[in-house]
Chains A and B, each alone.
Chain A
Amino acid sequence: MHSSIVYALSLGEPYGFQFFRNGTLVALIAGGLCGLLGVFVVLRGMSYIGHGLSHAVFGGAAASAVMNFNYFIGAGIWGVVSGVLIGRIARRRIIGADAAIGVVTTASFALGLALLNRYGQAKRSIEAVLFGSVLGVKNSDIIAVLVVAVLATVVIVLGYRKFLFSTFDPEVAEVSGVKVSLMEAALMVMLSLTILVTMRVIGTLLISALLVIPAATARMLTNRFSRMLWISPLIGAASAFLGMNVAYHTNTSASAMIILVGASAFTCVYFGSGVRGRRRMASFGHL
């Protein structure tokens, strides 16, 4: 009894530290934000774009660091240029969009790495961008993530039906008066902003996982788009919160733990819903 009370008290121990409180807060918001946008990423089959974009932005982040340029502006411009390049290459049709993403983003990533190797002062910054530094969060990071999270939520709530329509059935949406290209552009901008503000928190290599795992898990839990939009951010935020705490107590990488918690949730739901799914299928004997 006594030991369990001590253990319970020790769970609250990290919250005595400002860096942990800040880190947990920003990871929580970032997890929710990635979970929200991840719904569109997963349903539109854009997982690879999220993955590629986060790598491409790394090139811009590295270049900004080397040139002592503002990170958000440098990485932002770089992300936009990469997006345009991918579009131009893919439009030539001989090369598919997936190959175009592969070429542009890996080249951008490699360029960033080379720049940091050659001119970078601190090796720490490479690791920070690759793996994130959730425990070295500044106030500006919290504000940036919060602003993007609020913006994305407002935009998605206001344009809910148009986003749903253009994701499910772009052709008919266009005919019905929805500006599909505008909706797609809005999603890409929100995705880029999300990557930009979360990169320093959870790291380039792990953003793509937070954009995919919570949404994929939510998809297995519900057949409704509207429910996915709150279940997925909830899983993202819960993974971030639990991951942070587990990382503290096991003295492991926070970003790795966040993703491992998310992946564990995915695995549990996968096997859990698999049984339910089979039962559901069995009830449709005529199919």
Chain B
Amino acid sequence: MKVAEKDVLVHCHHVTCAYGDVAVVNDVNFTLHRGEFAGIVGPSGSGKTTLLKAVLGSIKPVHGSIDMLKGLRLGYVPQVESVDWNFPVTVLEVIVMTRGEKKWWPRITAAERAAAEDVLEQLGLGGLSGRHIRELSGGQQQRVFVARALFHSPDILVLDEPTSGVDVRTRHEVLHLLADLHDAGMSVLLTTHDLNGLAAHLPRLICLNKEIVADGSPREVLVPDVLEKLYGAPMHVLEHGGMPVVLDHSENPMVGRFGGKAV
């Protein structure tokens, strides 16, 4: 099926990014369409975050180009680990931050407050707008930053490692939230190194190790051949509940080290 031009949100064309002389992302091509939910996966240092930053426009590729839909609005959610939780801001102040000022007095208007309360309600954070960000649970904190990204009605939600540094319960919450948003029509692009906890649940995975190793559904790309290319080590793939589960195949030198028995 031919996809209409207006449905292409992001198109990376032979993109190479480098820090100094060292190429971190090499000759990457991919296209993201409206309504897609894609994850960039790969090991640490594979260039995931660099590619994401290039899409966001904060890093300029040294070669190639990134074409965006004209007037594309990005809603960016950074890693929770990069947030200063002691900073004196309330949930409401975080949410309205992204909206540019067109008035001279900085007070939050009643309309802004109402719009923010709407987004918060939608994400299950109703009644928390006056709380300091530190007073929230891990899942709520992550959702506040998703709410901030959604507040200025983006065309695409971009998340950097949304499950990094969060506990299992929070990871479930994040996954459900993103699935709900996607069901409601939101396009999503994220990075993750969490193969089983997050990547295996996504419709599309772009496997990156400086260059694109594979691009497709989890069933297509979470296979031993691709994973070995991606991680440089043999991997096992099992199936559980109809989904691929990736296991580290290498001999485990830690077995029995602490007096336990190998299973």
Contact = CB atoms under 8 A, between A and B. Distances in A.
A171 B82 contact: yes
Contact of A158 (B56, B78, B82, B104): B104
B258 interface: no
Contact of A222 (B78, B88, B100): B88
A226 B93 contact: yes
Given A168-B84, A175-B57, A175-B74, A223 B90 contact: yes
B70 to A, nearest CB: 16
Nearest to A173: B97
A84 to B, nearest CB: 23
Nearest to A43: B87
Given A43-B87, A157-B106, A165 B78 contact: no
B135 A284 contact: yes
Contacts of B87: 43, 167-168, 225
B89 interface: yes
Interface string A153-184: 00001101110110111011111110000000
B227 to A, nearest CB: 31
B121 to A, nearest CB: 22
Contacts of B98: 165, 172, 176
A58 B106 CA distance: 36
A174 B88 contact: no
B251 interface: no
B101 interface: yes
A24 B53 CA distance: 51
B224 to A, nearest CB: 36
Interface string B134-163: 010000000000001000100000000000
Interface in A262-287: 284
A174 B48 CA distance: 19
A171 B73 CA distance: 16
Given A174-B58, A224-B89, A225-B88, A169 B101 contact: no
B88 A169 contact: no
A267 B237 CA distance: 60
A207 interface: no
Contacts of A200: none
Interface string A223-248: 11111100000000000000000000
A219 interface: yes
B199 to A, nearest CB: 23
Contacts of A224: 88-90, 93
Interface in B90-118: 90, 93-94, 96-101, 104-106
Contacts of A160: 101, 106
Interface in A208-227: 219, 222-227
Contact of B101 (A161, A171, A172): A161
B76 A176 contact: yes
Contacts of A223: 88-90, 132
Contacts of A225: 87-89, 93
Given A161-B97, A225-B88, 12 more contacts: A160-B101, A161-B101, A164-B89, A165-B98, A167-B87, A171-B82, A172-B78, A175-B56, A175-B74, A176-B98, A176-B152, A224-B89
> Which 5 A-B residue pairs are closest in the complex by CB-CB distance?
A160-B106, A223-B132, A165-B97, A175-B76, A175-B56
14 contacts: A43-B88, A157-B105, A157-B106, A169-B83, A169-B97, A171-B58, A172-B76, A176-B76, A176-B152, A219-B88, A223-B88, A223-B132, A224-B90, A225-B89
